[in-house]
């Protein structure tokens, strides 16, 4: 009886393994690229960017043509073997490739390990792809950690990552930003305002920004004005009059842009006045 049960169990396991392998579908082009990196047949940096570009193309294909030729690669032995090898590698580009694959495939098995790695600190390129993987996987309770990386690592491409950040978990991101909006770290404040401004109109935020326009130095006014513009705020003139004669070209341009985008006619007229003053100034 026991022998019969053992035979049945082995048969079931074998059948399941065959079924899993039968669902494995990986395009030969990707299979060859991964195998070459795994076996060190090509430079790891070249391999990373080659596969990364391939995955970008597949993301576009999935978005615009509604086809997903890679949906079953997690069933492949090569995927599991190479992913673990790349993840544990000391080579920066192999490790970055593992993060890219994890995010692309929404592979949640590595979520906790990614959080641990990000908490401990890595090189910027690894942080970047780690953060993207966490956001792609919609990992909860990580917005504070990700925001901390944005503040502390000046090499991270915030314009790219920030656009993903505000979409990955609205509630968590807003909570993180409100916790940091009164930070003693100016960059944390600026990022909080910019991220919050990207959502719908928020009267509480607008009141906060107006308070900061009075308190903050001239060098930081442009960030506040940009946020006001994103919120489609009007009645800006009174805030920018003190900087009418600023020598900061970037701030002057931001003032005019914000006034032009204002729904208030008085702001728009003031923008025209400032543009004329600019034109009249000697070059």
| Model confidence pLDDT, tens digit, residues 50-74 | 999 999 999 898 888 787 778 888 9
Give the integer Cα–Cα distance in Å for 180 and 144: 10
| The predicted structure's pLDDT at residue 21 | 47
Give the integer Cα–Cα distance in Å for 12 and 42: 40
pLDDT (mean) for 105-118 = 96
| The predicted structure's pLDDT at residue 12 | 43
Residue 140 has pLDDT above 60, yes or no: yes
pLDDT tens profile 82-102? 999 999 999 999 999 999 999
pLDDT tens profile 169-211? 999 999 999 999 999 999 999 999 999 999 999 999 999 999 9
Q: Is 66 left (phi over 0), alpha (psi -120 to 50) or beta?
A: left
pLDDT tens profile 233-243? 999 999 999 99
Side-chain half-sphere CA neighbours of 248 within 13 A: 16
* % of the chain with per-residue pLDDT over 90: 80
The torsion defined by the Cα of 177, 182, 184 and 187, in degrees rounded to 10, comes to 40
Ranges 14-18, 87-91, 163-167, 194-198: which has the least confidence: 14-18
Query: pTM of the full predicted structure?
Result: 0.86
Neighbouring CB atoms inside 10 A of 27's CB total: 13
Residue 6 has pLDDT above 70, yes or no: no
| The predicted structure's pLDDT at residue 241 | 94
């Amino acid at each position: 009886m026991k022998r019969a049960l053992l035979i049945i169990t082995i048969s079931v396991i074998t059948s399941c393994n065959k079924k899993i392998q039968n669902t494995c579908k990986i395009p030969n082009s990707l299979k060859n690229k991964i195998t070459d990196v795994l076996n060190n047949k090509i430079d790891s940096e070249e391999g990373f960017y080659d596969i990364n570009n391939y995955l970008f193309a597949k993301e576009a294909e999935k978005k615009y043509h509604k086809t997903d030729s890679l949906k079953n690669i997690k069933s492949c032995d090569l995927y599991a073997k190479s992913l673990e090898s790349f993840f544990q590698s000391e080579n920066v580009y192999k490790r970055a490739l593992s993060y890219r694959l994890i995010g692309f495939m929404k592979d949640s098995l590595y979520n906790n390990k990614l959080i641990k790695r990000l908490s401990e600190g890595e090189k910027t390129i690894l942080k970047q792809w780690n953060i993207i993987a966490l956001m792609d996987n919609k990992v909860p309770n990580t917005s504070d950690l990700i925001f901390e990386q944005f503040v502390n690592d000046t090499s991270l491409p915030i314009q790219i990552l920030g656009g993903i950040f505000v979409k990955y978990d609205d509630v968590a991101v807003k909570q993180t930003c409100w916790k940091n909006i009164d930070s003693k770290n100016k960059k944390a404040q600026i990022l909080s305002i910019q991220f919050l401004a990207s959502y719908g109109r928020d009267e509480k935020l607008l009141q906060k920004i107006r308070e900061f326009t009075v308190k903050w130095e001239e060098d930081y006014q442009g960030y506040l004005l940009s946020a006001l513009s994103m919120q489609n705020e009007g009645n800006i003139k009174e805030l920018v009059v003190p900087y009418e004669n600023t020598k900061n070209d970037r701030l002057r341009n931001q003032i005019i842009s914000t006034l032009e985008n204002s729904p208030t006619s008085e702001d728009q007229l003031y923008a025209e006045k400032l543009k004329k003053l600019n034109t009249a100034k000697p070059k």
